[in-house]
């Protein structure tokens, strides 16, 4: 009989946040809790969570609909005041003191030393994803919108249409960095590279690949992209390598842990690809909610978020040797 792992919540009323503690996973034996995820109840009801990011195991941010922001400090989830009711679609964390969140109505929020402030909007388009380092940031979204910040000043980067395969009004869904620059995906098999310094965008088409891509993460000098029908691409030095063998699931998020790659998608799909290669190891989840985002602080501390309040922490089957199924 499946053992249900109970999470004990401590909710403390505060002026700006709800505090939620998560029971320790402890030393789960292979025979008892080996196949179970922690289902984190953040006390937000069926809120859709759309993205998760972090800089360490003690600094993780989750964003979702109605301006919802949660912060994990290593001990508890803190609900932070965002100052907006816009649905937030993307989040990125540079370090303990700096993060950005973006969303509908061109919303850009900056987190500095634990306080969120709203940046002056440059567009009313939906912003789906954001990237940052300690000195610059870039957000991308629908209708081919790209906005970038250098020295704290945001500006629009003009998008140029390319004949035959690329429209400058394609929606962008994810952004990450590689040695080639900032890589943006969204159009059918199109990868756009953004140069913040020159405020320019160049686009290339993956030969013979016409699938929508929706998730991205850096890996070494390159990047991994995932999308519809089990789409899985490794991109490096201008070359795209398609990895086949995943089930035809809409993959929405991807994370790299060491040499392994984790992917999440619709219908509760989670899988690990050892060395970034198929076949994947599919890891069961508690239900079939759409899983959208993933952040891996380590191979034993992975956060996954999705629709209808889904927050999973794992991986399941933490063994005494730190392994996973």
Beta-sheet strand order (sheet of 88-93): 88-93, 98-103, 108-112, 115-118
3-state DSSP assignment of residue 296: strand
Would residue 182 count as lying in a domain? yes
Which residues, in sequence order, are CB contacts of 59 under 8 Å at separation 6+? Answer: 71, 72, 73, 74, 93, 95, 96
Q: Is the peptide bond before 274 cis (omega within 30 degrees of 0)?
A: no
Residue 157's pLDDT is what? Answer: 94
- Residue 286, pLDDT score: 84
8 assigned to some structural domain: no
Total count of domains within the chain: 1
pLDDT for the residue numbered 11: 30
Give CA–CA dist 224/278, Å, rounded.
14
**Residue 229, by phi and psi: left (phi above 0), alpha (psi -120 to 50) or beta?**
left
The answer to whether residue 269 is domain-embedded is: yes
Residue 170 placed within a domain: yes
Which mean pLDDT values do the consecutive 10-residue runs of the chain (325 residues) have?
A: 32 35 38 60 93 97 98 93 97 96 98 95 96 95 94 88 67 94 91 91 89 95 96 94 95 95 96 93 88 95 96 70 41
- Say how far apart CA 44 and CA 93 lie, in whole Å: 22
Q: What is the pTM of this model?
A: 0.87
Q: What does the pLDDT read at residue 142?
A: 94
What is the residue-wise DSSP string for 169-229? T----EEEEETTEEEEE-SBTEEEEEETTTTEEEEEE-TT---BEEEEEEETTEEEEEEGG
Domain presence at residue 67: yes
Parallel, antiparallel or unpaired: strands 88-93 and 76-80: unpaired
pLDDT of residue 322: 39
Model pLDDT, residue 37: 86
Assigned domain for 319 exists: no
Output the six-digit token pair for 313: 């922490």
CA distance to 85, 207, 290, per residue, from 78 (Å): 18, 45, 24
Q: What is the pLDDT of residue 28?
A: 38
CATH code (residue 131): 2.130.10.10
Q: Is residue 11 part of a domain?
A: no
The HSE-up count of residue 258 (CA atoms within 13 Å, CB side) is: 10
The answer as to whether 138 is a domain residue is: yes
Q: What's the domain range around 61?
A: 19-314
CA distances 114 to 82, 84, 172, 285, Å, are 11, 16, 28, 32
pLDDT of residue 165: 56
Q: According to the model, what pLDDT value does residue 184 have?
A: 96
Query: Looking up tokens 């907006």, which residue turns up?
Result: 84
pLDDT, residue 163, reads 60
């Amino acid at each position: 009989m499946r053992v249900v792992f109970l999470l004990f919540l401590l909710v403390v009323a505060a002026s700006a946040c709800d505090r939620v503690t998560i029971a320790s996973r402890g030393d789960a034996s292979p025979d008892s809790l080996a196949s179970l995820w922690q289902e984190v109840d953040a006390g937000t009801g069926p809120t859709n969570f759309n993205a998760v990011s972090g800089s360490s195991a003690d600094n993780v941010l989750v964003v979702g609909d109605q301006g919802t922001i949660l912060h994990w400090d290593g001990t508890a989830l803190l609900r932070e005041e965002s100052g907006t009711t816009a649905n937030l679609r993307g989040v990125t964390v540079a370090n303990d003191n700096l993060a950005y969140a973006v969303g509908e109505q061109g919303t850009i929020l900056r987190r500095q030393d634990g306080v969120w402030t709203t940046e002056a909007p440059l567009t009313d388009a939906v912003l789906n994803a954001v990237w940052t380092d300690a000195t610059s940031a870039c957000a991308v979204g629908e209708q081919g919108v790209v906005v970038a910040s250098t020295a704290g000043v945001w500006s629009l980067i003009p998008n140029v249409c390319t004949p035959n395969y690329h429209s400058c009004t394609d929606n962008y869904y994810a952004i990450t960095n590689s040695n080639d620059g900032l890589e943006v995906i969204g159009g059918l098999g199109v990868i756009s590279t953004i140069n913040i310094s020159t405020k320019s965008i160049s686009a290339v088409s993956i030969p013979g690949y016409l699938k929508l891509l929706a998730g991205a993460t850096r890996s070494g000098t390159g990047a991994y992209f995932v999308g519809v029908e089990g789409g899985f691409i490794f991109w490096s030095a201008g070359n795209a390598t398609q990895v086949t063998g995943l089930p035809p699931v809409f993959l929405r998020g991807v994370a790299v842990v060491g040499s392994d790659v984790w992917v999440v998608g619709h219908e509760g799909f989670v899988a690990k690809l050892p060395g970034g290669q198929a076949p994947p190891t599919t890891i069961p989840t508690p239900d079939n909610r759409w899983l959208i985002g993933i952040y891996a602080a380590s191979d034993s501390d992975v956060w996954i978020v999705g629709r209808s309040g889904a927050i999973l922490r794992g991986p399941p089957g933490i063994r005494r040797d730190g392994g996973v199924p």
